[in-house]
Structure 1
Amino acid sequence: MSSLLDNLTEVRERISRAAGRSGRSERDVRLIAVTKTVGIDVITEAISAGLTEFGENRVQEALAKVPELPTNISWHLVGTLQRNKARHVVGVFSMVHSLDSVELARELDRRAAAIGVPIDALVQVNVAREPQKSGVAPEGAADLLRAVCGLENVRVRGLMIMAPYSADPEAARPWFRQGRQLLAQLARMNLPGVEMEQLSMGMSGDFEVAIEEGATMVRIGSALFGSRPAPAGRPQPEGKDEGAGEGANADAAMGDAGGERRAQR
């Protein structure tokens, strides 16, 4: 517990300083603790330490964890979501950070309507147009919003941005700035049912730069829970698994039973 508490204290202090540099307060930035490969016992410690919002990359892993944990926390899907997994997401996750197509939005809307539980979503924008990552191109975001703004059970709340991986956090600044500018541009469209207020960007390796550029949510994994194991003994780059990107849609096939697990609200 002491290691997690120390890490959390440090992360919160860094969030506070970065928010101050952008003329904001730490209360303006939501900390999403990304728990990919993190065990139930450690997540329980994190809850005891005061964390209330958690992120998972893979639907199947979340479905195994959610029933074992308290219901007074919220879950964010920060990994890529395939349309055929949408039925497992509604009623479990409070927000999907990786909406990237009209088809996915309509499927989420249909599934959410069936159980009477709407879901919040962020449009994932592939600002750097990296071929290995999901997300709509910046110039396609407005058309996507126009197409989904009439859905009654999918509530678009903003954007999710991922910068290309770099060991230098400053390399992410132009991409994060582009995300902030795009959010402001889309907000001026004033589409019904769309609230462009949330900007999810920044992971363990670059979250301070993201906050300086306007992030309202940061997705932090390794800075809280330590580095995750990497294949073949290769070190895991900091922040690699804290959002939708390479390998994030590698969920194994799931039976319908998983969709019956719903987190109480």
Structure 2
Amino acid sequence: MVTKIANNLEKVKKNIDDILKKNGRSAKDIALICVSKFQDKDKILEAYETSHRDFGENRVQEFLEKQSFLPKDIRWHFIGTLQKNKVRKVIGKCFLIHSVDSFELAEKISNVSLEVKLKTQILIQVNTSSESSKNGLSRTCWEKHWEKLLDLKGVEIQGLMTIASNTADQKIVKENFKALKEFLKELNLKYYRENPMKQLSMGMSGDYEQAIEEGASYIRVGSNIFGLRCS
């Protein structure tokens, strides 16, 4: 029996495939992260049982509880605000931390990772919308920090992440995503010519089509799969 969540997930994946084909991209170019914030175990397992493995959480305590009792082959993506005093709790438990929104946080993740002899995979969060409600530094600010980021031995920077403007204007949303793509290209030309960063985490339930068109490699979708959440 196909469950509602499995059906929703299939529809989202079909839509993603259609957008990829329209833009001359391959399915292997992108990963869908099911955002499971506030969702109970049974709903997550419904998605898991379709062979989906990438799930995203944005609260440390909720993530730790789910990570402790759900299947061990889930690839957990931490996508929410991460306070420096909680870094130690998530190191070694995440496949990828998307939301590194300051140099100080990157430095803390690196230091804790080195203590436990790990290298943590991270994305740098860039505020491409200039909205004060969005986390992450501006492109200009990150440019000033980038050479210091290169000195951090406990992290491996896989790419960039952003959250687009909260607007119905698709042109503005696409401009936000395009800005992230252009920043990645600039950084690769300057610092990563031999081993370029490849990951762009951008796009959520309401704007993932525009994100895919601009080159997203990770999209973060929750309500289109699980339905509206109750906090």
TM-score relative to the length of structure 2:
0.94
Aligned pairs for 1:1-265 (under 5 A) are 2-191=3-192, 195-229=196-230
Q: CA deviation at 1:117?
A: 2.2
Deviation at 1:142, TM superposition (A): 2.3
Show structure 1 runs of 4+ deviating over 6 A: none
RMSD over aligned Cα atoms: 1.7
CA distance in 1, matches of 2:41, 2:92: 20
Counterpart code for 2:111? R
CA shift for structure 1 position 106: 1.4
In 1, the alpha carbon distance for the partners of 2:22 and 2:135 equals 31
1-side partners of 2:192 and 2:178: how far apart?
Answer: 23
TM-score by length of 1: 0.82
TM-superposed CA distance for 1:144, in Å, is: 2.6
> Gaps (5+ residues) in structure 2?
none
CA deviation string 1:5-44 (max 9, x = no partner): 1111110111111112221112211011110001111111
Distance, in Å, in 2 between the alignment partners of 1:164 and 1:16 is: 25
Q: How many residues of Structure 1 are paired with residues of Structure 2 in the alignment?
A: 230
Give the Cα separation in 2 of the matches to 1:120 and 1:192. Answer: 19
Q: CA deviation at 1:206?
A: 0.6
| Structure 1 segments unaligned to the other structure (5+ residues) | 231-265
Read off the aligned partner of 1:119 and give its amino acid letter. Answer: T
Q: What amino acid maps onto 1:53 in structure 2?
A: D
- 8 Å contact from structure 2 (residues 134, 163) kept in 1: no
Deviations 1:75-95, CA, capped at 9 Å, x for gaps: 111111111111111011121
Whether contact under 8 Å (1:149, 1:194) holds in the other structure is: no
Contact 2:122 2:155 in 1 (8 A): yes
Q: Which structure exhibits the higher relative contact order, with contacts defined as CA atoms closer than 8 Å and separated by 6 or more residues?
A: 1
> Residues 183 and 196 of structure 1 are in contact (CA less than 8 Å); yes or no, is this contact kept in structure 2?
yes
CA contact (8 A) 2:56 2:77 kept: yes
Query: What is the alpha-carbon distance in structure 2 between the residues aligned to residue 190 and residue 5 of structure 1?
Result: 42
Kept after mapping to 1: 8 A contact 2:161/2:202: yes
Instruction: State whether residues 83 and 107 of structure 1, in contact with CA within 8 Å, keep that contact through their aligned partners in structure 2.
Output: yes
Cα distance, 1:187 vs. partner?
1.0
Contact 1:75/1:92 (CA < 8 Å) preserved in 2? yes
